[in-house]
Every structure is written in C-alpha cells, then in structure tokens.
C-alpha cells in the first residue's frame, strides 16, 4: 500500500468510527463456484451478527468532504480537519486486498456529501456494483444511503448491498433543524419508506421465483445520537418503537454524543453518556425480544431510564404486585420478565419443570444469573414468606453492583 492511500485510509477510517449503525446481521449471501468472499464466514471481531458470530468489516468513508454543517459531525464543513477522498477504484482495490489477506469479510461504506446527494450516492453504488459484478465479491456490503438521493440510485444500492442504513441522528425534528439546518426528517423518512416497500416487493418476487435478485436482504437500520439534544428517553424510545413498527427496521443504533469541538448549538459535556447509551440498548432489546411494551419501560411518570438499574430490574421493582413469581407456576412470558433470566434459560425452566418441581439447585444449573434472579422468584425450597422482598433494599443491592461494574469497565453489557 503506497503512502498516499495509507494516509487516506487513516483519515477516512478514523472519521467513520462515529457511525455505529454498522451491523452484519440478517444476510446469508452465499459464495458461488466462481465468486470470492462469503458473508456467512467466520473472521476477526469487529461487529456481531444476530446469531453471535464475529465479523470483520472494512469501515471507511468515501470522503470526509461535506457540504453540510451538522454540529455533531466531525466531517462538517466548518470543522478544521484534514480532508481526503477515495476514488471508486481505490475503495474497490482496498476491499479486495484486505479480503484476500483475510483482514476483513465485508465492507461498511459511508460518506460525507460532496456536490450533492445523487453525485455522492452514485459513487457508493458504483463501488458495490464493481465488487459484485467485476470481482464477484460475495462478502458482506453495508451502504450508508445519502438522504435526498434519487429512488433509482436507492433501487440500485439495494441490489448490491446486504444492508442499507439511513441515519436520522437526532431524536426530534426540532433538534435536527437546530444542529443540522440543511436536513429534515422528510429526507430521511421517505428513503426508509421506499426501502421498506422494495424489501416487501422483493420478498413477493422471491416467493414466485428464487432467481429474482435480492434487495437489501439484511434490511435497513438507522442511528440516533444520544446526549446532543434535550430529549428524554421516552421520546427516544417512542421514535425507535415507531420506526420498528412503521418502517420495519432491523436495528436502531444509539450513539452517545462525543464532543468533537465547541459549538454553541450543542451541550457542554466532558465524556460520552455511555451508561445511558447502554440502557437504551437494553430497553430496545426488551421491546424487540422480550415482549415488553414501550410504556412498561418508560412513561410520563418515568420519562428517563434508571442509570443505576437495567430496565428489566427497574420494571420488576416498580411492580411489587407481580414479583416475586413462583417459578414452578408462572407462564413463559412472565418468567421472561424476571431479571437475570434470558430467553434460553426461560425455555429450559419451562421444559425442566415438567419433570418435577424446581428447586434452587436446579435453577442454578439452568443458565440464569442467580445473583439477580433470586430476588424475584420463589421455588420449591424458597417460599415468599422467607424472602425479604423490599424493593428499596433490593434496588440498593443490585444497583451498587452494577454501578461498580460500570465504573470499572466504562461500559455495561446486555443481559439476560
């Protein structure tokens, strides 16, 4: 790699790190006899698929030149940063060279907007098209679509990419107009609707003929920047819930605002809101996989997530009329709401109790997180009258452990 390309790669990969809507889940594009790459393979860990595999991606911007002046963006036109731009050929060559050296299994490609939306989007599409048609590359490709680009280019992008993303960024249109005056929700929501309809049409075509070309088989995603605007978690999650329901998004990503430079349009913070970001991911997980309704997690009375407790534990402590539950009698849906019990362990519990009443010793072997679940369940050898079930006491014991872990690691993990 020559020094010029190396310098571009350093600049444009660093600028791309602020886009967290980078997932490779949902696509199973298989290799062919004459192709190269495979989106179902194993690789170096950069991102995770929905089934837990680690996948490495080349994550870069085509350029960090931009005609917009979004306050939260490192590539905004008023920011004093070193600028660079790849050619179409350079990105194609980099992707193939990195793949052949087993550094990556796919490409996540975004870009600043130079000249106009169509001009930029056309180059992103050309890169994906050349990789697929000329180099027969069957690895994963995720394209960040450019708001305002034509439907023709969106259509072509979906034919070559495994996933498309259109980033909303701000949780409300008023905040978006404040920090990104050139943008509006319409330019983001219309492409989302178009992609949704094309995915539905493609599924119908594929039912009639397996030879019909795929269209964005990994669906679409978006990103919300957290902490750069005053919205409560209720507003953030209401927007996310609406996007899942109305636009059929695969994922909404939450990115804690990272102060890049001083701007009077943005709040002054000294570190990204990492714990809040993690709580939003946990709440999102509850809505998508655990059957929780939005108003069970946040509401007008509790518009923000509790930073000291994960949303599942917070829900359980707010509902002493429900908890603790009898693990030998409760239905699967209720067991799934117990802090420390995930989908797999809930299924194991329902299956195991068919053969006899479950005791503490049995439960410890079934994969649940006992040190958390023990406060919210009774079983054959743990009766309610022997439990000291006081929400404030339990909260103190659970939250002290969680906050200590957060302070030590700077991040929290998703739970069962």
β 54-55/47-48 pair status? antiparallel
Residue 258 has pLDDT above 80, yes or no: yes
pLDDT in tens, 275-290: 999 999 999 999 999 9
Give the whole-angstrom CA distance, residue 20 versus residue 208.
36
Nearest to 20 by CA among 85, 98, 72, 65: 72
What pLDDT, on a 0 to 100 scale, did the predictor assign at position 223? 94
What pLDDT, on a 0 to 100 scale, did the predictor assign at position 360? 92
What pLDDT, on a 0 to 100 scale, did the predictor assign at position 416? 47
What pLDDT, on a 0 to 100 scale, did the predictor assign at position 92? 97
pLDDT classification of 38: cutoffs 50, 70, 90 = very low
Residue 233 tokens read as: 């978690």
What pLDDT, on a 0 to 100 scale, did the predictor assign at position 41? 33
Residue 42 has pLDDT above 90, yes or no: no
CB atoms within 10 A of CB 30: 9
DSSP secondary structure string for all residues of 9-69:
HHHHHHHHTT------TT------TT-B--TTS---SSEE-TTS-EE-EEEEESB---S--
Kindly list the structural domains of the chain, giving each domain's residue range(s) and its CATH number in brackets, ordered by start: 3-272 (3.20.20.70), 311-409 (no CATH)
Q: Average pLDDT, stretch 31-59?
A: 55
Q: Of the ranges 42-46, 125-129, 319-323, which one carries the lowest mean pLDDT score?
A: 42-46
pLDDT classification of 25: cutoffs 50, 70, 90 = very low
Q: Average pLDDT, stretch 24-39?
A: 46
How much of the chain exceeds pLDDT 70, in percent? 86
What pLDDT, on a 0 to 100 scale, did the predictor assign at position 411? 45
Do 379 and 357 contact (CB within 8 A), yes or no? yes
What pLDDT, on a 0 to 100 scale, did the predictor assign at position 17? 79
What pLDDT, on a 0 to 100 scale, did the predictor assign at position 182? 87
pLDDT in tens, 140-177: 999 999 989 999 999 999 999 999 999 999 999 999 99
Give the whole-angstrom CA distance, residue 375 versus residue 235.
31
Residue, of 22 and 115, whose pLDDT is higher: 115
Give the whole-angstrom CA distance, residue 202 versus residue 208.
10
How high does pLDDT run on average in the chain? 86
What pLDDT, on a 0 to 100 scale, did the predictor assign at position 9? 87
Residue 122 has pLDDT above 90, yes or no: yes
What pLDDT, on a 0 to 100 scale, did the predictor assign at position 329? 95
pLDDT in tens, 292-309: 999 999 999 999 999 999
pLDDT in tens, 359-409: 999 999 999 999 899 989 999 987 765 566 677 778 887 875 555 555 554
Give the whole-angstrom CA distance, residue 156 versus residue 251.
22
Q: Average pLDDT, stretch 213-230?
A: 94
How much of the chain exceeds pLDDT 90, in percent? 65
């Amino acid at each position: 790699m020559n020094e010029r390309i190396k310098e571009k790669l350093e600049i444009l990969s660093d600028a791309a790190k602020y886009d967290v809507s980078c997932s490779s889940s949902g696509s199973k594009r298989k290799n062919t006899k004459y192709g190269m790459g495979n989106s179902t393979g194993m690789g170096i860990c950069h991102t995770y698929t929905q089934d837990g595999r680690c996948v490495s991606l080349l994550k870069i911007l085509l350029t960090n030149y931009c005609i917009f002046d979004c306050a939260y963006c490192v590539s905004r036109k008023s920011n004093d940063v070193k600028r660079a731009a790849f050619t179409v050929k350079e990105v194609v060559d980099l992707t193939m060279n990195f793949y052949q050296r087993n550094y990556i299994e796919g490409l996540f490609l975004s870009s600043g907007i130079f000249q106009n939306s169509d001009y930029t989007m056309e180059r992103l599409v050309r890169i994906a098209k050349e990789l697929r048609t000329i180099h027969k590359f069957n690895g994963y490709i995720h394209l960040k679509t450019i708001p305002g680009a034509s439907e023709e280019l969106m259509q072509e992008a979906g034919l070559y990419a495994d996933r498309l993303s259109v980033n909303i960024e701000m949780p409300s249109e008023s905040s978006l107009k404040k920090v990104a005056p050139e943008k509006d929700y319409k330019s983001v929501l219309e492409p989302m609707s178009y992609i949704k309809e094309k995915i539905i049409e493609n599924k119908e075509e594929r039912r009639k003929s397996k030879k019909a070309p795929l269209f964005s088989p990994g669906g679409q995603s978006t990103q919300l920047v957290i902490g750069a605007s005053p919205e409560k978690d209720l507003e953030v999650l209401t927007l996310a819930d609406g996007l899942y329901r109305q636009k059929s998004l695969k994922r909404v990503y939450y990115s804690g605002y990272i102060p890049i430079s001083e701007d009077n349009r943005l709040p002054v913070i000294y570190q990204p809101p990492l714990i809040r970001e993690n709580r939003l991911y946990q709440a999102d997980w509850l809505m998508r996989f655990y059957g929780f309704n939005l108003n069970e997690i946040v509401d007008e009375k509790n518009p923000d997530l509790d930073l000291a407790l994960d949303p599942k534990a917070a829900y359980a402590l707010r509902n002493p009329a429900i908890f603790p539950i009898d693990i030998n009698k409760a239905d699967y849906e209720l067991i799934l709401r117990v802090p420390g019990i995930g989908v797999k362990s809930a299924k194991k519990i329902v299956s195991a109790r068919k053969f006899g009443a479950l005791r503490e010793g049995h439960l410890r072997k079934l994969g649940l997180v006992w040190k958390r679940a023990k406060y919210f369940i009774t079983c054959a050898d743990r009766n309610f009258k022997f439990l000291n079930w006081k929400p404030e006491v339990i909260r103190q014991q659970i939250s002290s452990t969680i906050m200590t872990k957060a302070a030590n690691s700077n991040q929290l993990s998703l739970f069962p």
